[in-house]
Amino acid sequence: MPLMELEIGRVVSLKILDEDGIVDQELDPKLKKTDLLEMYRAMVWGRITDERMLKLQRQGRIGTFGPSTGQEASQVGTMHWAGDNDWFVGAFREHATRLMRGESLERQLLYYNGFEEGNLNEEGSHPRNLPISVIVGAQPLHAVGLAYASRLKGEKDVCALTYMGDGSTSEGDVHEAMNYASTWKLPVIFIVQNNQWAISVPRSKQMNSRSIAQRAVAYDMPGIQVDGNDVLAVSVATREALERARRGEGPTLIECVTYRLMMHTTADDQYKYRTKEEEDIWWKRDPLVRYRKYLTDRKYWNDKKEEELHEEFKAEMDRQIASFEARTEFKMDAAFDNVFGTSHAVIEQQRAEFLSESTKEDAHG
Amino acid sequence: MARINMVQAINLAMDEMMAEDQSVVVLGEDVGVDGGVFRATEGLFAKYGEQRVIDTPLAESAIIGTAIGMAMGGLKPVGEMQFSGFSYLMIPQLEGHGSRMRARTMGQFSVPMVMRLPYGGGVRALEHHSESREVFYAHMPGVKVVIPSGPRNARALLRAAILDPDPVVFMEPKRSYRAFKEDVPDAPETMEIGKCQVVQEGTDITVVAWGAMMHTARKAVAEIEKARGTSIELIDLLTVAPMDSDTIAASVRKTGRLAVIQEAPRSFGAASEIIASINDKALMFLEAPAKRVTGYDVVTPYFGRELNYIPTVGRARRGIEEALDF
């Protein structure tokens, strides 16, 4: 038997808008103005609320969270073409995506202040948003299950978009999810925000692979690497993946090459393991700056509109923060409400004990 | 003699063992350059290098699975699970292999490995950073579960765990990491795994606690002693499994009363096991029902509500008094 080369998939890398805001004329998808501006709004809203949350955390007004600044193009571009029936199965650093799925800032603040109310899909937000998943790499399997359920129920055009980071691709569950999705040709999009760092571990120590996108080859599904700070490239790649999924052609892996411009979480000090100089390089690749230039060049945007947008958003932020801080009454025995669908005597006996004990002013050890 | 906190004590124990024994390696997520998210491995990377202080890719099952192989291959791995809430990916490897390799091979292979798990609530952290699930591991025959309560016993027990010939799950109450300092002697010391410690002798009631609850129990005991002049025997469990029920039973035979303070949910917990062992060994000496003060059987709420679910000093005191006043 002769030695034969196996024909396996290829992996491409896509960039449309470079860091100076220069667009590749051939690749420019020439999206409609409304789409372009909608994405820009979502990116700005994600950025400025993230920045404000960092301030709130430093003032002790919310707890620990993982800032998403710098990843807005990846977070917005991947969700822009998704519809009402598609599932959003996120990790814990998709702040801008959560907001564009109709979740309020107030809800994020509740979550990061330690209240499960922050997980409730409020009116106006998407019923097909799964809550934040803190455990790294677990949720892609849920996306596989959701996609399977949709297909079995005969739901048309439903895709599950699941998000993870570069570090999570080292977890077995992530590989298992890709294998299942590909084997069953399920409508799942695996979106890896490769932000270069898993807390202190750089991508180069996380894996020997030259790209994350190439892992799709192992499962014989399309995989593409995109400049994750280029919202045009991100959105085009995701639109194609969605179209494939809706045609019944199975999953796609999209690696968005981006950067976590801030600390892992507010409990982390990134200068223990990386330099300010490295961050400066990536600040020059800020997804917002290049995109604003693109929009300005097309006369879709100008300084006055920018100013107005910030004023509008600032007022909205202030309103939602005030609303969040006005909430002081929380049902203290809420944890007893949802242990089971129908409660059990053991739980209710303990609830009574809890309520009785809660009336007492006790110190902790 | 140095005065250090629990994180420093844990760091010291690993440092001492790594200096003494080339076969000791440390592995886990962010344990190297970063020195661990709690700084427990601070300085070890610079001192012992990347071959012995290993920043692993992000995969908990791989950390323990690799450690099992390392241990069978002659190393003494000390793995870190960043938070115990992420440690459940250890279970297939530990239940399926690590715990039973000695039994399976009739003693030919053993797994001298330590897995360190910061655990427990009260630090205003995100989901999965608050639970006490010591019984997950205590219920695996072949696994030792050790929980220190302060700097000195943390250092001595971690040393003992690294020297131990079997897998040890070493659970560190993160609420106590920096809560207080203690003097530790200059020379390394060990404490015996599988033994609890009577930290205070008394005659009226036996109180048992472990981990961060030792701190709560101490305060409750002091309040009761001050208020009513009661003589209380306080026992620090230190090893959950295998449990030193003989020492607890001997104490109950003397005091006739028992209260157990446990952070974990009430049902199927270590407190239940302690009381069952008293049923076996000292039932007829009890003058009152044994009392459990515990967490509740609910999913640990996020930190906005978390503190109400962790036994307070007041709850511990009332529980102890209930057993006293029966």
Element (H, E) at B77: strand B76-80
Whether pLDDT at A187 is above 80: yes
Question: Does the beta-carbon distance from A358 to B308 stay under 8 Å?
Answer: yes
> Does the active-site annotation cover B97?
no
B217 touching A, CB under 8 A? yes
Residue of A nearest to B216 (CA): A365
pLDDT tens-digit series, residues B2-32: 999 999 999 999 999 999 999 999 999 999 9
For residue B28 the two structure tokens come to 């886990």
With beta carbons under 8 A apart, name residues in chain B contacting A354: 296, 308-309
Residue of B nearest to A333 (CA): B305
Owner of token pair 């007492």? A360
Question: Does the beta-carbon distance from B62 to A135 stay under 8 Å?
Answer: no
Distances (CA, A) of A226 to A13, A78, A230, A238, B237: 5, 11, 8, 10, 54
pLDDT tens-digit series, residues A214-226: 999 999 999 999 9
Q: Domain B197-325 is of which CATH architecture?
A: 3-Layer(aba) Sandwich (3.40)
Give the pLDDT mean for A231-238. Answer: 98
Among A114-128, A290-304, B162-176, B237-251, where is mean pLDDT lowest?
A114-128
Task: Give me the CATH topology for the region B2-184.
Answer: Rossmann fold (3.40.50)
Question: Does the beta-carbon distance from B304 to A114 stay under 8 Å?
Answer: yes
CA B115 to chain centre: 11
Query: Whole-angstrom Cα distance, residue A25 to residue A365?
Result: 65
With beta carbons under 8 A apart, name residues in chain B contacting A113: 304
Asked if the bond preceding B112 is cis, omega within 30° of 0, the reply is no
Owner of token pair 């205070």? B200
For residue A272 the two structure tokens come to 């223990």
Question: Does the beta-carbon distance from A365 to B316 stay under 8 Å?
Answer: yes
Q: Domains in chain A, ordered, with CATH?
A: 12-326 (3.40.50.970), 331-365 (no CATH)
| Identity of the amino acid at B260 | V
With beta carbons under 8 A apart, name residues in chain A contacting B267: 346
Element (H, E) at B265: strand B258-265
pLDDT tens-digit series, residues A112-153: 999 999 999 888 888 899 999 999 999 999 999 999 999 999
Whether pLDDT at B1 is above 90: no
pLDDT band at A362 (very low <50, low <70, confident <90, very high): confident
* H-assigned helices in chain A: 33-58, 72-77, 95-100, 105-112, 139-152, 172-183, 203-206, 215-218, 231-246, 276-283, 287-297, 303-326, 345-358
- For chain A, what is the mean pLDDT? 96
Question: Does the beta-carbon distance from B128 to A115 stay under 8 Å?
Answer: no
> Which one of A64, A109, A273, A362 makes the best mutation probe of the B interface by having the most chain B beta carbons within 10 Å?
A362
B30 touching A, CB under 8 A? yes
For residue A204 the two structure tokens come to 């180069």
> Under a CB-based contact definition with an 8 Å cutoff, are residues B308 and A354 in contact?
yes
B292 pairs with which residues across the strands?
B260
pLDDT at A28: 97
Whether pLDDT at A6 is above 90: no
Question: Does the beta-carbon distance from B296 to A335 stay under 8 Å?
Answer: yes
- For chain B, what is the mean pLDDT? 97
For residue A205 the two structure tokens come to 């120590």
Backbone angles phi, psi at A272, to 5 degrees: -70, -25
Distances (CA, A) of B278 to B62, B233, B245, B260, B295: 39, 16, 8, 12, 21
pLDDT at A8: 83
Share of chain A above pLDDT 70, in %: 100
For residue B213 the two structure tokens come to 């609850």
Regarding beta strands A87-89 and A160-165, do their DSSP bridges make them parallel or antiparallel, or are they unpaired? parallel
At what angle are helices B213-228 and B313-325 packed, to 10 degrees? Answer: 50
Q: What is the ipTM, given to two decimal places?
A: 0.92
Element (H, E) at B183: strand B182-184
For residue A196 the two structure tokens come to 């270069």
pLDDT at A156: 85
pLDDT tens-digit series, residues B101-123: 999 999 999 999 999 999 999 98
Whether pLDDT at A263 is above 80: yes
Question: Does the beta-carbon distance from B297 to A339 stay under 8 Å?
Answer: yes
pLDDT tens-digit series, residues B73-103: 999 999 999 999 999 999 999 999 999 999 9
Whether pLDDT at A168 is above 80: yes
Length of chain B: 326
Reduced to 3 states, what is the DSSP secondary structure of residue A227? strand
pLDDT at A363: 77
DSSP A93-146: --HHHHHHTT--HHHHHHHHTT-GGGGS--TTS-TTBPPP--STT-HHHHHHHH
pLDDT tens-digit series, residues B153-211: 999 999 999 999 999 999 999 999 999 999 999 999 999 999 999 999 999 999 999 99
Query: Whole-angstrom Cα distance, residue A274 to residue A342?
Result: 50
Whether pLDDT at A365 is above 80: no
Rounded to a whole number, what is the largest CA-CA distance in chain A? 81
Of B93, B128, B163, residue with least CA distance to B300: B128
Reduced to 3 states, what is the DSSP secondary structure of residue B240? strand
CB contact residues (below 8 A), chain B span 279-298, against chain A: 296-298
Break chain B into its structural domains and give their ranges: 2-184, 197-325
Distance, in angstroms, between A285 CA and closest chain B CA?
A: 26
With beta carbons under 8 A apart, name residues in chain B contacting A268: 37
CA atoms within 13 A on the CB side of A48: 17
pLDDT at B314: 95
CB contact residues (below 8 A), chain B span 32-71, against chain A: 32-35, 37, 55, 57-62
pLDDT at A5: 87
B168 pairs with which residues across the strands?
B114, B144
Query: Whole-angstrom Cα distance, residue A150 to residue A209?
Result: 33
| 3-state secondary structure labels for all residues of A149-190 | HHHHCCCCCCCEEEEEECHHHHCHHHHHHHHHHHHCCCCEEE
pLDDT at A359: 83
Residue of B59, B125, B126 lying closest to A170 (CB–CB) = B59
> Under a CB-based contact definition with an 8 Å cutoff, are residues A238 and A193 in contact?
no
pLDDT at B42: 98
Question: Does the beta-carbon distance from B216 to A364 stay under 8 Å?
Answer: yes
Give the pLDDT mean for B126-137. Answer: 95
With beta carbons under 8 A apart, name residues in chain A contacting B35: 272
Q: Which residues of A are annotated as catalytic?
A: 260, 264, 273
Distances (CA, A) of A278 to A50, A110, A260, A275: 21, 33, 11, 5
Fold agreement between B2-184 and B197-325: yes
With beta carbons under 8 A apart, name residues in chain A contacting B55: 200-201, 205
